[in-house]
A and B are shown apart, each in its own frame.
Chain A
């Protein structure tokens, strides 16, 4: 079936603009994750949902970052008043509950803040 999809794939924002990044998880996957990957680095955890409940948002770097998953399926990561240090690839992943908890990653959204 279809994998995790993300949109847009590329986003250029001027400093101070707000952006919204969308993630469509694999159908039926209960858990959804957002990670941030800076150039040349490993992904870093941002936040995690189980259905519509946000269980962990400890990785969100500031209160400018906000994520939601209102109906337990599609999720949106919003960044307000973007800064240059927000430039990165934002990866979304989803997984089933139970089993080996394997996470399947989307193609990512590359955000460039100018």
Chain B
């Protein structure tokens, strides 16, 4: 059974700094997703990573996938306040599309 762990669970960072959120998973995961959730809101899809070595970037966020290490990272560059949210990674496997989520990383950007 797929298990997904994220760290850190909480992250406060100053505007302008860089940081990385880590997502480890326990068994083979064919697809890795990153979502953003604002308080009281639903989940917004950020990235879908399908293959080893995949890297995707959107604005100040960059996600990567290392299937051999069973690790995905979400890197934040020069953080701005608007990025404050909870970020979830989730995995799934071919043949069963259900998503298994990590516990989330609650990111707070301090001016």
Residues in chain A within 8 A of chain B (CB atoms): 31, 33, 35, 41-45, 48, 56, 59, 91, 93, 95, 100-108
Pairwise interchain contact B97-A105, C-beta atoms closer than 8 A: no
Pairwise interchain contact A106-B50, C-beta atoms closer than 8 A: no
Pairwise interchain contact A59-B48, C-beta atoms closer than 8 A: no
Across-interface contacts of A33 in B (CB, < 8 A): 97-99
Across-interface contacts of B20 in A (CB, < 8 A): none
Tell me whether A42 and B101 are in contact in the complex, defined as CB-CB below 8 angstroms, given that A91-B42, A102-B48, A106-B42 are known contacts.
Answer: yes
Known: A33-B98, A101-B97, A102-B48. 16 other contacts (CB 8 A): A35-B99, A41-B104, A42-B88, A42-B90, A42-B101, A43-B101, A45-B99, A48-B98, A56-B96, A56-B98, A91-B42, A102-B33, A105-B35, A105-B43, A105-B44, A107-B42
Across-interface contacts of B44 in A (CB, < 8 A): 105
What are 17 residue pairs bridging A and B, where the CB atoms are less than 8 Å apart in the complex?
A: A33-B97, A42-B101, A42-B102, A43-B43, A43-B88, A43-B99, A44-B101, A48-B97, A95-B97, A100-B31, A100-B48, A101-B97, A102-B33, A102-B45, A103-B97, A105-B35, A107-B42
Which interface class (under 10, 10 to 19, 20 to 34, 35 or more) fits B?
20 to 34
Across-interface contacts of B100 in A (CB, < 8 A): 45
Across-interface contacts of B45 in A (CB, < 8 A): 102-105
Across-interface contacts of A108 in B (CB, < 8 A): 42
Q: Which of A48, A105, A106 has most B Cβ within 10 Å?
A: A105
